[in-house]
Amino acid sequence: MPKGSLLTDIDRQVIELGVRKKKGVREIARIIGRSHSIVSREIRRNSGVRGYRRDIAGRLSGVRARKTNKRKLEKDLVLQKYVRDQIHAGLSPEQIAGQMKALPPKILGKASVSHEAIYAWVYDGDGKDCIPYLRKRHRKRRKKSTRRKQRLTLQNRVSIHIRPKRITNRTGFGDWEDDSVICSGGRSVLAVQYHRTLMLARISKVPDKSATSHEWALRAKMERDPKGLWKSITRDNGTENALHDETRKQYGVKSYFCDTYSSWQKGGVENLNGLIRQYFPKSLNLDRIPQEAVAMVEHMLNTRPRKKLNYLTPNQALERYLLKRERSGAINP
């Protein structure tokens, strides 16, 4: 039996017979020794008005194979491997495209690709093996034009594009990113914050995704941390952030908001969410998880060495920062 995704005329004869007898895709795939996804795609792409016929399917497949306008990810195998490896490592298409633009990897030369092209390759091309590694793991993707436009109910929202350079360049201390981690079971949610310089993690289990629950948990973390450690928060446009302006007025901590569908703009907390998922997978019922377990995961993440910190842990990096601040006699350096 030939390997790969190319089907022979005999394969198509078996598929046509199986379709006529109303056999399942998986059963047909077992008979011809192919992946069920290949058989499913063959039937979907090459069926006509009269259903699936091997002669018509062969012609349609031949025409498609002769097309020269292949996607960049289908033609460039090095780029394809890089994108696949990054997705398997937990990065989103937005993060991959954003990093390639900001810091192009040497192995790729001048090659680049947009996040929409990556999504198209994953859902409509040969990258379907990457779907389980995407954060939402949808088997199908809604077309961009059919997405519901998000209603921005955030008062006094400040765009990330006017955020001070010290935050963008990570040259200061006290700048955080904020997000939520949602599981499919129960109503509980994890409110997550990430320090952009010290790589500290702050994780709280909250009863729901409401703005009140989220903001109270965030403020509790702020009050427990040393003075001056919270100066700004970069957020997304979720409704759980609706009380951001009250936090600014009460604590003097400003918030900056990412562009819509641009989670890569707060890539630090997105990567942290991937680490949290190792302990709290999406299928988990968070209602059954005690706060002590959440606190333990936060402690484990803050006590693991990080390369970007010269292999210090985030807690050790915080201790060094506080010691340096104490010696300089400054509260808000």
The range of the structural domain enclosing residue 89 comes to 72-139
124 and 179 assigned to the same domain: no
Query: Based on the number of CB atoms within 10 Å of its own CB, is 304 exposed (0-12), middle (13-18) or buried (19 or more)?
Result: middle
Q: Are residues 111 and 217 in the same domain?
A: no
In this structure, the answer to whether residues 168 and 277 fall within a common structural domain is yes
Kindly state whether residues 122 and 185 are assigned to the same domain: no
Residue 248 domain flag: yes
Residues 6+ apart with CB under 8 A from 146: none
Let me know whether 313 and 208 are in one domain.
yes
Q: In this structure, which amino acid lies at residue 289?
A: I
Last residue of some domain: 28, 43, 65? 65
Could you tell me if 137 and 90 are in contact, meaning their C-beta atoms sit under 8 angstroms apart? Answer: no
Is 185 a member of any domain? yes
Number of domains in the chain: 3
Instruction: Evaluate whether 85 touches 129 at the Cβ level (below 8 Å).
Output: no
259 with 309, same domain?
A: yes
User: In 33-171, which ranges are continuous DSSP H helix?
Assistant: 36-46, 54-65, 72-75, 77-88, 93-102, 115-124, 165-168
Report yes or no on 2 lying in a domain: no
**84 shares its domain with 61:** no
Q: How do the pLDDT tens digits run along the chain, 333 residues long?
A: 344 457 888 888 889 898 988 899 999 988 888 888 888 988 888 887 778 888 888 777 776 655 544 567 877 888 888 998 888 888 888 888 888 887 788 888 877 888 888 888 888 777 888 888 887 655 555 555 444 545 546 889 999 999 999 999 998 899 999 999 999 888 999 999 999 999 999 999 999 999 999 999 999 999 999 999 999 999 999 999 999 999 999 999 999 999 988 888 999 999 999 999 999 998 899 999 999 999 999 999 999 999 999 999 999 999 999 999 888 865 444
Residue 286 belongs to some domain of the structure = yes
Domain match, 202 and 314 both: yes
232-235 and 175-182 strand pairing: parallel
Question: Same domain, yes or no, for 168 and 135?
Answer: no
Closest CA relative to residue 86, chosen from 72, 67, 69, 73: 73
Residue pLDDT, tens place only, 74-97: 778 888 889 988 888 888 888 888
Is residue 22 domain-shared with residue 57, that is, in the same domain? yes
Cα dihedral sign, 287-290-296-302: positive
- Runs of H (alpha helix) within 138-239: 165-168, 211-224
Residue 3 within any structural domain of the chain:
no
Instruction: Report in angstroms the alpha-carbon separations of 250 from 18, 102, 254.
Output: 68, 36, 10
| Same domain, residue pair 33 and 130 | no
Sheet architecture: strand order including 189-195? 201-206, 189-195, 175-182, 232-235, 254-257
pLDDT digits (tens, 9 = 90+) for 252-269: 999 999 998 888 899 999
Asked whether residue 148 is domain-assigned, the answer is no
